[in-house]
């Protein structure tokens, strides 16, 4: 490079008239008018107009989206769309972009999502797409800050495991030095064990599910936000989840105004408290629609869409039947057919599932047997319960689904840089 970058574009203002700067970015537009050349240059922070007094200094084969550095002087402008312009003293062409490009990153020509994902790195030069991932960055930072303030400790659990972590079959298998291994679909058992010594833990990480789902809300690789807390019951972690969601929304409204404007998204901070709707209430609401669901039957998508219409926005679905829940969920003392569990819904979309866990090792072994699972396969986990396991509760929430709610899309592929689904393994 001939020049060293001195400023991002958003650090330059009209008040800097006469000052020399060096910017780096890509060419969005190029026009030659007589002896002058006008270049529109963008970096990740903004857009600037560059004027070259000698149009012949700009190669004829310079293409849009080529990467350049410009050394120049700030001057005032009469251009309606710019508050200043840069009079170029020198232009260094770093790399030339091919022509034609696979997609139009400016967005003048629409591309379908598959073509955009095939050229995802280039797609990020589209300001709407870049705004999504800037918001995702702030969401992650907000989650970590808030959970840390609530005295949760961030942990990292294994993603290659030796047995099905929750007894399910929807796992990817792999060869692991002559043994059979699996990709984890959840940190569930590890985060429970960690409450023995750390009490409150959280993890934000990728997990994997081998389900051939072809919907706008399912991915084979997804990012999950998980917490587990000793000496809390499910009502306590519901409160943690509700306050976390509201705080994240507040942070995004406060810190991502430009990105939300780019997306034309009028994001509203949800009101507290979120409504609590019991499983039994849901059956009653469905019955009023002429739909009979027997107690203990799971709710279908069609059922959840009806319930979501009745309860728009965020709400908790609580008191699920025990027969629908995994082995580690605690029953309600006053009604053992019901569980101390919940889902967080946004309309029909499930965002989170959680509850109070069994902490008595004998009850846990009995529950495993009741559900047809061999306790021998869970000995590593059960051993921790013999060392004095505190009562504990927790939840897991899909970050990708939360992001979809924040930006207002029905397709989680829009909020994941390189999504993996049954049809997509590259790039």
Clarify whether residues 243 and 144 are in a common domain: yes
Residue linked to tokens 């810190």: 255
What residue numbers bound the domain in which 291 lies?
121-415
Look at residue 405 and give its three-state secondary structure: helix
pLDDT of residue 107: 85
Q: Which residues, in sequence order, are bridge partners of residue 339?
A: 331
> What CATH number should be reported for the domain holding residue 138?
3.30.930.10
Q: What angle do CA 414, 216, 317 make, to 5 degrees?
A: 110
Q: What angle do CA 245, 247, 248 make, to 5 degrees?
A: 65
Q: What is the pLDDT of residues 8-41, one digit of tens each?
A: 999 999 999 999 999 999 999 999 999 999 999 9
286 Cβ neighbours under 8 A, 6+ residues apart: 292, 293, 303, 306, 307
Query: Which region among 161-170, 208-217, 225-234 has the lowest average model confidence (pLDDT)?
Result: 161-170
Last residue of one domain, picked from the residues 60, 95, 130 = 95
pLDDT of residue 167: 62
Given a cut of 70, is residue 166 above it in pLDDT?
no
Look at residue 364 and give its three-state secondary structure: helix
> What CATH number should be reported for the domain holding residue 67?
2.40.50.140
Q: What is the pLDDT of residues 228-241, one digit of tens each?
A: 999 999 999 999 99
Given a cut of 70, is residue 225 above it in pLDDT?
yes
Clarify whether residues 150 and 70 are in a common domain: no
Q: Is residue 101 part of a domain?
A: no
User: pLDDT category, 1, cuts 50, 70, 90?
Assistant: confident
- pLDDT higher at 411 or 59: 411
Clarify whether residues 23 and 154 are in a common domain: no
pLDDT of residue 231: 99
pLDDT of residue 168: 62
Distance (Å, rounded) from C-alpha 182 to C-alpha 339?
29
Over residues 249-253, the mean pLDDT reads 99
Total number of domains constituting the chain? 2
8 Cβ neighbours under 8 A, 6+ residues apart: 23, 43, 44, 45, 46
Distance (Å, rounded) from C-alpha 318 to C-alpha 352?
12
Clarify whether residues 128 and 210 are in a common domain: yes
């Amino acid at each position: 490079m001939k020049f060293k970058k001195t400023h991002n574009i958003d650090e330059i203002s009209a008040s800097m008239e006469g000052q020399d700067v060096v910017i780096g970015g890509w060419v969005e537009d190029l026009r030659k008018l007589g002896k002058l050349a006008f270049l529109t240059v963008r970096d990740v922070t903004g857009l600037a107009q560059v004027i070259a007094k000698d149009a012949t200094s700009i190669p004829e084969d310079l293409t849009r989206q080529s990467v350049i550095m410009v050394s120049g002087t700030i001057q005032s402008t009469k251009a309606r769309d710019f508050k200043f312009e840069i009079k170029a003293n020198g232009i260094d062409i770093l790399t030339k972009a091919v022509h034609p490009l696979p997609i139009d990153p400016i967005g003048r020509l629409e591309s379908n999502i598959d073509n955009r994902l095939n050229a995802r790195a280039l797609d990020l030069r589209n300001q709407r797409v870049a705004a999504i991932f800037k918001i995702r960055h702030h969401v992650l930072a907000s989650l970590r800050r808030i959970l840390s303030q609530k005295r949760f400790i961030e942990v990292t659990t294994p993603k290659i495991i030796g047995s099905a972590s929750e007894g399910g079959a929807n796992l990817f298998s792999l060869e692991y030095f002559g043994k059979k291994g699996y990709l984890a679909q959840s940190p569930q058992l590890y985060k429970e064990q960690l409450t023995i010594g750390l009490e409150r833990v959280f993890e934000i990480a990728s997990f994997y599910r081998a389900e051939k789902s072809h919907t706008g809300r399912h991915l084979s690789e997804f990012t999950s936000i998980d917490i587990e807390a000793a000496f809390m019951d499910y009502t306590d972690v519901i409160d943690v989840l509700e306050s976390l969601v509201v705080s994240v929304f507040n942070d995004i409204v406060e810190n991502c105004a430009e990105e939300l404007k780019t997306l034309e998204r009028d994001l509203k901070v949800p009101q507290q408290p979120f409504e609590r709707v019991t499983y039994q209430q849901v059956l009653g609401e469905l019955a009023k629609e002429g739909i009979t669901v027997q107690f203990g039957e799971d709710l279908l998508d069609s059922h959840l869409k009806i319930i979501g219409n009745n309860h728009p926005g965020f709400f908790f679905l609580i008191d699920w039947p025990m027969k629908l829940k995994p082995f580690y969920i605690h029953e309600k003392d006053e009604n053992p057919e019901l569980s101390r569990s919940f889902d967080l819904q946004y309309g029909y979309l499930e965002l989170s599932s959680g509850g109070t866990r069994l902490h008595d090792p004998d009850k846990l072994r009995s529950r495993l047997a009741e559900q047809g699972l061999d306790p021998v396969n869970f000995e590593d986990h059960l051993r921790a319960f013999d060392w004095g396991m505190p009562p504990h509760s927790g939840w897991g929430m899909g970050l990708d689904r939360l992001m979809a709610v924040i930006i207002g899309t029905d397709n989680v592929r829009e909020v994941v840089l390189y999504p993996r689904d049954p049809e997509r393994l590259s790039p």
